[in-house]
Amino acid sequence: MKKISILSLHLNFGGIERAIVSLANYLCNYYDVEIACTYKINEESSFELNKKVKVKYLTNVVPNKKEFKSALKSFNIIKIIKEGFKSIKILNLRKKTMIDYISNTDSDVIISTRLLFNKLLSKYKNNQLTIGWEHNHYHGNMKYARKIVNSVKNLDYFVLVSNNLKEFYYLELEKTNCKCIYIPNTLDFISDKVSKLKEKKLISVGRLSKEKGYMDLLEMSKEIFKNHSDWSLDIVGDGVERENLEKYIKENDLSKNITLHGFRDKDYINNLLLNSSIYLMTSYTESFGIVLIEAMNFGLPMIAFSQAEGAREIIRNNKNGYLVDDRNKDEYIERVNELIDNYDLRVKLGQEAKIDSNEYDPNIVFEKWIDILK
């Protein structure tokens, strides 16, 4: 049986980590699968991992980014120096242990999931089949794009989660031996249940960080609830912005309408989606938008800003949801109100969303991985 290694920074919550776990869970039915993790953030993966998948942690340290930022904020020179040296030591250990793993593994295939690992895999690989797997959009940053190109040009395959990225990198890599392949992220399953879209509930799922635009969502929700006080918003996820969001909710008396659920497991989220009526995304950037296809799986119409590249590939404007240009908050609010006030429109868009979700059937998507690995 072929052995496949997937290189991962950690298995804490996050879109990339979720995609890694989903792929590993599928491939372990056909191959011997091992995830090589730099950091052990939690005792177990934040996502349910098949027991047949092996996890090898390469270090016993965790990043000290939070501590270093705290030292900078307090301008504590001694702490800054101490945490700075610690950070350098951790980064050097991260690099060394990954080099050792790549150089000594007996795997037949190695899949890299980030820029640093691409570079190390290109340099220290043996005779394995090597695959780069890119989840991030370059967002017009050509310096970053060139780094990505240089990091994968000596690999065998480069897997992109969006057609837009595939077309871009195909042109950049056409004079190399690295083949660009489009394989989207996938649903965990195709639901046989869809929302009735009658509950007066809005929902958004994601990491609570600035690039996800949740403060914008709260500000718009404040306006929406002025005319629709009987509706509510569920936000699922955790992150550095949570404290700021909680403060805004309290100061604006929105606790009766908005609930921050924190990080929750898949069953919990699926139950919320099934009992919601509109999915809202406010990301500034989004490479793929896996939360959108999860909403589609339960037949929810979606609204997002077109600035999020991944949303543009999933949402067909006026067909299965709405794309709002130029981060126009007034138009976004108008679109939400339109769907709140028009049940038949919700149903129409939701039906199209459910049909479109079939494109992300795991049995179809993962077969594309199998084709590469053969």
What are the 10-residue block averages of pLDDT along the chain, 374 residues in total? 96 87 95 96 86 96 87 87 92 97 97 97 96 91 96 98 93 95 93 97 95 97 97 95 97 97 93 98 89 97 94 95 98 98 98 96 94 92
CATH 3.40.50.2300 fits 201-358, yes or no: no
Q: Give pTM, 2 decimals.
A: 0.87
Residue 71: the pLDDT is: 85
CB 63 within 8 A of CB 92: no
Nearest by Cα to 339 from 194, 200, 213 = 200
pLDDT at 265: 87
Residue 304 has what pLDDT? 98
Per-residue pLDDT at 146 = 97
Per-residue confidence (pLDDT) for residue 69, from 0 to 100: 86
pLDDT for the residue numbered 13 = 75
Q: What is the pLDDT of residues 297-336, one digit of tens each?
A: 999 999 999 999 889 989 999 999 999 999 999 999 999 9
Domains 3-183 and 201-358 share a fold: yes
Provide the percentage of residues in the chain whose pLDDT is more than 70. Answer: 100
CA distances (Å), origin 153, targets 105, 176, 319? 22, 6, 38
- The CA distance from 140 to 128, in Å, is 32
**3-183 has CATH 3.40.50.10210 classification:** no
Mapped to the 3 state alphabet, what secondary structure does the chain carry? Answer: CCEEEEEECCCCCCHHHHHHHHHHHHHCCCCEEEEEECCCCCCCCCCCCCCCCEEEECCCCCCCHHHHHHHHHHCCHHHHHHHHHHHHHHHHHHHHHHHHHHHHCCCCEEEECCHHHHHHHHHHCCCCEEEEEECCCCCCCHHHHHHHHHHHCCCCEEEECCHHHHHHHHHHHCCCCCEEEECCCCCCCCCCCCCCCCCCEEEEECCCCHHHCHHHHHHHHHHHHHHCCCCEEEEEECCCCHHHHHHHHHHCCCCCCEEEEECCCHHHHHHHHHCCCEEECCCCCCCCCHHHHHHHHCCCCEEEECCCHHHHHHCCECCCEEEEHHHCHHHHHHHHHHHHHCHHHHHHHHHHHHHHHHHHCHHHHHHHHHHHHC
Domains in the chain: boundaries: 3-183, 201-358
Residue 311: the pLDDT is: 93
- Amino acid identity for residue 154 in this structure: N
Side-chain-side CA neighbours of 73 within 13 Å: the count stands at 6
The reported pLDDT for the residue numbered 136 is 87
In single-letter form, the type of residue at position 13 comes to: F
- What contacts 137, CB < 8 A, 6 or more positions away? 162, 164, 165, 285, 286, 287, 309, 310
